Amino acid sequence: MTDRPDDHAEHIAVLRDEVIEGLQPRPGSLLIDGTLGAGGHSAAWLDATAPDGRVLAFDLDPVAIGIARERLAGYGDRVEIVHGSYERMGEVAPERGFGAVDGVLLDLGFSSMQIDDPERGFAFRFDAPLDMRFDPTQPLTAASLVNGLSESELADLIYEYGEERYSRRVARAIVQARPIRQTGELAQIIERAVPRSRERIHPATRTFQALRIAVNDELGALERTLPQAVSLLKPGGRLAVISFHSLEDRIVKQFIAAHSREVYDRRAPFAAPKPMALRGIGRVMPSAEEVADNPRARRTGRRVLRCTAPAL
């Protein structure tokens, strides 16, 4: 990491005000922040719930945790931080007094601190080892996938998680050039493999996204965590999810759809329907001002789900 912690003190969380408005915190309210990052959303929650609101936060990245710890030090024991996946919230939160909370937040994907770190391998604009792990203690890296998967496994991964229509060509070029160790080398191989287009994004963008999603099992973690998050909400509690691309947004949308209908039992047509567990409260996109300040916010969107009954 080349940046110092103070470089992030002013790091502004994406859709910060919209998230707080959607979660509707009150003094004393409890939040589980599944994706602490630099702690911007947690700080906003702690301010809004003073003097006694609390946060239980998770992050896989020890560097982010170090930065957030410094930023949140002034809130004392109102904040508790766990190094680990938000997938563990169902098990960890009740042990820490967060078994019934007012809000859960998932701000998905990577942070600007991670992509701007030349050594983590998230970005092809820096030549770095093919790493891409949020948690550096996990064994699987992007290099393991690039050099270890078969051509058809690679093609499927790049197609599914990168929505890359030239996935077969990219996979073939990768297999022919292996072993590949550095991000710069991989970006060049992809650039040569796909036809030139008028798109503004670099041809390697989609493949890098696919590898990052696979290394960190991002979509699987989200699918496994949504039911846990809702089961930790008090009735009336809210879950906010900030997604960064359509694959994540689709999972959240489908989850809301599956749990926001009254469920009738076909075998007992006259029985009362099971109450719906969730109400989706629309999607909010960043303002033009926020996108002008932070172009990375461009693709984000926030959905809020309100828990209507403890039914999951």
Q: Is 166 in the site for ligand SAM (CB under 6 A)?
A: no
| Among residues 98, 134, 161, 255, the one that binds ligand SAM under rule CB under 6 A | 134
Report 68-107 residues binding ligand SAM (CB under 6 A): 85-87, 107
Q: Which of 180, 119, 194 is nearest to 148 (CA)?
A: 180
Q: Is 40 in the site for ligand SAM (CB under 6 A)?
A: yes
Helix or strand run (H / E) with residue 278: strand 278-284
| Beta-bridge partner residues of 241 | 106, 303
With 0-12 / 13-18 / 19 or more C-beta atoms within 10 angstroms meaning exposed / middle / buried, residue 5 is: middle
Residue 179 Cβ vs ligand SAM, minimum distance, rounded to whole Å: 27
How far, CA to CA in Å, does 235 sit from each of 231, 239, 278, 308? 10, 11, 10, 5
CB-nearer residue toward ligand SAM: 221 or 229: 221
Instruction: At 187, list the tokens.
Output: 């970006």
CB-nearer residue toward ligand SAM: 39 or 203: 39
Which sign, positive or negative, has the C-alpha torsion 176, 197, 117, 221?
negative
Chain position whose Cβ is nearest to ligand SAM: 37
Q: What whole-number distance in Å separates Cα of residue 256 and Cα of residue 278?
A: 7
| Among residues 30, 53, 59, 297, the one that binds ligand SAM under rule CB under 6 A | 59
| Among residues 37, 103, 203, 301, the one that binds ligand SAM under rule CB under 6 A | 37
CB-nearer residue toward ligand SAM: 86 or 166: 86
Phi, psi of 286 (to 5 degrees): -65, 155
Report 214-273 residues binding ligand SAM (CB under 6 A): 216, 221
Q: Is 41 in the site for ligand SAM (CB under 6 A)?
A: yes
Residue 209 Cβ vs ligand SAM, minimum distance, rounded to whole Å: 14
Residue 299 Cβ vs ligand SAM, minimum distance, rounded to whole Å: 12
Residue 114 Cβ vs ligand SAM, minimum distance, rounded to whole Å: 6
CB-nearer residue toward ligand SAM: 53 or 109: 109
Task: Give the 3-state secondary structure percentages of the chain, helix then strand then coil, rounded to 5.
Answer: 45, 15, 40
Size of the site for ligand SAM (CB under 6 A): 24
Q: Return the biggest CA–CA distance within the chain.
A: 65
| Among residues 29, 35, 49, 207, the one that binds ligand SAM under rule CB under 6 A | 35
The residues near 301 (Cβ < 8 Å, ≥ 6 apart) are 242, 243, 249, 283, 284, 285
Instruction: At 146, list the tokens.
Output: 């690039």
Question: Which of the ranges 53-61, 148-156, 230-238, 261-269 carries the binding residues for ligand SAM, by CB under 6 A?
Answer: 53-61
Angle at 226 between CA 223 and CA 227, to 5 degrees: 105
Residue 61 Cβ vs ligand SAM, minimum distance, rounded to whole Å: 4
Q: Is 60 in the site for ligand SAM (CB under 6 A)?
A: yes
By CB under 6 A, name the binding residues for ligand SAM: 11, 13, 34-35, 37-41, 58-61, 64, 85-87, 107, 109-111, 134, 216, 221
